[in-house]
């Protein structure tokens, strides 16, 4: 059975019509990715491969404007998301009402790691902003959820100096 490596990530929602969206996933092998929504909307896409990684952009059609719709992700017909016994609420797609302006809620944070460490002593700084946001959203009303998030690359600077080059490096000019 194919497995989910990363995702799902709601990549885009059609703001013009409120009837479509795109979901991104990374699978552990080639196959067919599918999004099934609770209201019957959905879509499928084959994965493609880049440098040994298998990705899919799944176009979701048939959504109703101005709604919030729960969805599942399947790989080769087997459900891989949401995870069994997850403490988090179902993933949803929120569509806008066409022709209306609405405020946009943005969450800001870092992307220093994908999940909090299992050992609290591992990092004295603690979980990053997105881990904290995920915990808060597990019990918060969906109206307070951000519509998008912006991550800064906190690994732009090195946390450790690079190793010193070996003696004689770089080689002398000939």
Looking at residue 136, its pLDDT comes to 79
Q: Which secondary-structure segment (H or E) carries 73?
A: strand 68-75
Q: In this predicted model, what pLDDT tens digit does every residue of 100-126 receive, in sequence order? A: 887 788 888 766 555 555 655 556 566
Nearest to 35 by CA among 3, 67, 68, 79: 79
CA distance 115 to 122: 12
Those residues with Cβ within 8 angstroms of residue 141's Cβ, 6 or more apart along the chain or in another chain: none
For residues 33 and 47, the answer to whether their CB atoms sit within 8 Å is yes
Q: What gap in Å lies between CA 19 and CA 8, rounded to an integer?
A: 19
- Asked whether residue 75 carries a pLDDT value surpassing 90, the answer given is yes
Instruction: Tell me the mean pLDDT in the region 57-65.
Output: 98
| Alpha-carbon torsion angle 80, 24, 95, 135, nearest 10 | 60
Tally helices (H) and strands (E) across the chain.
1, 11
Share of the chain above pLDDT 90, in %: 47
Per the CB < 8 A criterion, the answer to whether 148 and 104 are in contact is yes
* 44-66 exposure pattern, b = at least 16 Cβ within 10 A, e = fewer: ebebeeeeeebbbebebeebeee
Residue 157 has pLDDT above 80, yes or no: no
pLDDT over 90 at 52, yes or no: yes
Fold for the domain defined by 1-98? Immunoglobulin-like (2.60.40)
Q: What angle do CA 128, 141, 106 make, to 5 degrees?
A: 50
pTM: 0.74
Q: Enumerate the CATH 2.60.40.380 domain ranges in the chain, comma separated.
A: 1-98
Q: Any bridge partners for residue 168, and if so which?
A: none
């Amino acid at each position: 059975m194919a497995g989910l490596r990363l995702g799902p990530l709601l990549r885009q929602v059609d703001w013009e019509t409120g009837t479509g969206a795109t979901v991104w996933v990374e699978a552990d092998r080639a196959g067919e990715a599918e999004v099934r929504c609770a209201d019957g909307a959905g879509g499928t896409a084959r994965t493609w491969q880049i440098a040994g990684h298998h990705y899919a952009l799944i176009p979701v059609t048939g959504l109703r404007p101005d709604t919030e719709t729960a969805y599942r992700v399947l790989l080769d017909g087997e459900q891989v998301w949401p995870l069994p016994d997850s403490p988090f609420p179902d993933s949803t797609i929120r569509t806008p009402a066409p022709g209306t302006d609405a405020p946009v809620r943005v969450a800001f944070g870092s992307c220093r790691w994908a999940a909090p460490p299992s050992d609290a002593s591992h990092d004295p700084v603690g979980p990053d902003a997105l881990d904290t946001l995920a915990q808060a959203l597990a019990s918060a009303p969906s109206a307070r959820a951000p519509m998008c998030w912006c991550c800064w690359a906190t690994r732009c600077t090195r946390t450790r100096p690079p190793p010193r080059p070996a003696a004689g490096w770089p080689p002398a000019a000939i």
